[in-house]
Amino acid sequence: RLFLFTAWKSINFWWHDLISVQHGWHIVSNIVATVTLLALCAMVVWQFIIMLRGKSFRAFLKQWLAFDITVILLVLCYVLFQIVVVNYRPILIDGMAEVSYPSSHILLVATLLPLIVCTCWHNVPSKVWRRVIAVSALVLMVVGIVARTLCGYHWLTDSVGALLLSAALVAWYKVMTQYKLPARREPSKL
């Protein structure tokens, strides 16, 4: 265990010495995170419109409830790692040591953008719009992950941990949306 800890610590210091702090990448990662949050807001509005239109409640449950629960789990993961501190940033922010693990920007981008793509893929009727959404989200996700990893505000393990946690959340969402709801039973007539 000590060997693994020392190896990761060495990799973290090597990575931080290699990239230093790049404020330009920090700005790019903030822009991507903001666009991702705006996309989440658009999804919430879309969900509300679907509810008002009175679409099939069962279809609503399968996609949107899984989406909402996954977003809640994402928030809970963020709060948990604010309470259970794994490590601090390699640099001081306004003279303060801030929690660093996992990278919240990467966690946000790598979880929400795949959720948005999957949900839109099943709910947007236009094949062209589905592809535009998917390609845009993929580009945003890659840019966001690379920017946050290269900005130097996190250790390399913070980025890797955020990617692994995001993958787990997206996998959970996929499992929940693949789950078959039980058949609707008609009440028996006496």
pLDDT digits (tens, 9 = 90+) for 13-40: 767 776 777 778 778 888 999 999 999 9
Per-residue burial over 141-165, b if 16 or more Cβ lie within 10 Å, else e, is bebbbbbbbbbbbbbbbbbbbbbeb
Structure tokens at 13: 């210091």
Of 150, 148, 121, which is closest to residue 33 (Cα–Cα)?
A: 148
The answer to whether residue 1 scores a pLDDT higher than 70 is no
Residues ≥6 apart with Cβ < 8 Å to 27 = none
- Other residues' Cβ atoms within 10 Å of the Cβ of residue 77: 19
Pairwise CA distance, residues 16 & 154, whole Å = 8
How confident is the model over 132-172, as pLDDT tens digits?
999 999 999 999 999 888 887 777 788 888 999 999 999 98
